Amino acid sequence: MPPTPASTRRRTTTTAAAAVLSTALLTGLTACGSGEDENAASHTGSAAPQANLTVLAASSLTDAFRAAGEAYEKSHPGTKVTFSFAGSQELAAQVKQGAPADALVTADTRTMDGLRAETGAAKIIAKNRLVIATGKGNPFKIDELRDLADSKLKVVLAAPEVPVGRYSKQILDAQQVVVKPVSQEPNVRAVLGKVEMGEADAGLVYRTDSAKSGDKVVTVDIPDTQNAVASYPAATLKQSENGEAAAAFVAWLSTPEAQKILQDAGFQQP
């Protein structure tokens, strides 16, 4: 058999070397990809995009959302959630003025409905009810809504453009109870603060807010037949620069983990 030409031997050697190199590269890429998938899967919730999120939220959500934010950051490494709390009407004004934020949660559907051009689809994440908050020890023995009509009482309410103020007017009007408040506050926390400090004898607030005051106030329940249900819708903001991450957070608010935090704070199921 005649000897193989040198040029042919060189071509054969080069082809074999290329095949070996290609196999090594493919093996390395496969191993690298497998490791990344396993690493991603090892972190619960890490599939959500990472971002620094700003969430505008109703004042009554302050304590519950602070706990929720910590839980979300823990299960979503690399994401930070910052909240801005205020009355829903203030939040709506901020959105319309183009405030840099990613998501919005209000204490009523009416405010959210007025922002349809600025938000994504909204979903109810929690509900709440009103109670009467009275001074420590309930010195005036307030037992029901009609007691608030006593002219000797200093009653404070939220302003009518605030959700809790609108709910308050709704239930007082339905029971034909005429109250002349000594002040009308911009949010529910301000109403509660007046009662806690003794600047008011009573006020209408959410059950969740009154519960956080401990023994600073006495909570007087209002029968369901005389009460109003406050619904809390959450939505992403179209102006957000973190659309996917914002959507992931809003969706998380309906998960069992988030719902437990809200219900532990006294909120009702959506």
CATH code at position 111:
3.40.190.10
The parent domain of residue 111 ranges over: 52-127+230-264
| Distance in angstroms between the alpha carbons of the first and the last residue of the chain | 87
pLDDT at res. 54: 98
Domain count, the chain: 2
**Below-70 pLDDT ranges, the chain:** 1-48
Question: For residue range 207-224, what is the model confidence (pLDDT) as tens digits?
Answer: 999 998 888 999 999 999
The residue among 108, 134, 130, 127 whose CA lies nearest residue 224 is 130
**Confidence (pTM):** 0.80
In whole angstroms, what is the distance from residue 252 CA to residue 246 CA?
A: 10
Establish if 155 belongs to a structural domain: yes
Q: What radius of gyration, in Å, describes the C-alpha atoms of the chain? A: 29
Q: Both 223 and 133 in a single domain?
A: yes
- What is the amino acid identity at position 196? E
Q: Both 235 and 121 in a single domain?
A: yes
Establish if 154 belongs to a structural domain: yes
pLDDT at res. 48: 65
What three-state secondary structure class fits 30? Answer: helix
pLDDT at res. 47: 61
Q: Both 173 and 217 in a single domain?
A: yes
Q: Where are the alpha helices (DSSP H) in the chain?
A: 6-41, 62-75, 88-96, 109-113, 163-174, 188-196, 207-212, 243-252, 256-264
pLDDT at res. 212: 87
pLDDT at res. 12: 42
Question: For residue range 194-204, what is the model confidence (pLDDT) as tens digits?
Answer: 999 999 999 99
pLDDT at res. 106: 98
Establish if 10 belongs to a structural domain: no
Establish if 25 belongs to a structural domain: no
Q: 7: how many CB neighbours lie within 10 A of its CB?
A: 8
